Amino acid sequence: MDRAALLRNGGPARLQLEGAPGSPGSIVRRAELVFLSGLAVPLPELDRGRRLMRLYYPMEEFHHVVDVLAQRAQHFFYLWRPGDGGCALAMLVASR
């Protein structure tokens, strides 16, 4: 992964990943990680129609997240939503 190329465009850096649902109740098949500079980080978004989860991170976390993705491990994105439909917790997990 060319980190410099990801950061060169001047806008937010974006990583797009594809995978398979990790459980029978899961619908997400793609994740988009968006790294923002100088802005408040928005809450995660779930687009059910596109089966896409979008996670936002501060730009300062870019290299750390790329390091986690580079690990030889299984990677999982977890999104927990409370019953009222709000978005409470989203995370990237690496499991060996």
CB neighbours of residue 56 within 10 Å = 19
pLDDT at 49 (0 to 100): 92
What confidence score (pLDDT) does residue 73 get? 79
Q: Cα 33–34–37 angle (5° rounding)?
A: 145
In the three-class reduction of DSSP (H, G, I as helix; E, B as strand; rest coil), residue 67 is classed as helix
Instruction: Output the pLDDT for position 50.
Output: 93
- pLDDT recorded at residue 8: 52
Predicted structure pTM score: 0.76
Other beta carbons less than 10 A from residue 62's beta carbon = 19
Per-residue pLDDT in tens (0 to 9) along the chain, 96 residues = 455 555 555 566 888 888 887 788 888 888 899 998 877 888 888 888 998 989 899 989 988 888 888 888 777 777 777 777 665 677 777 787
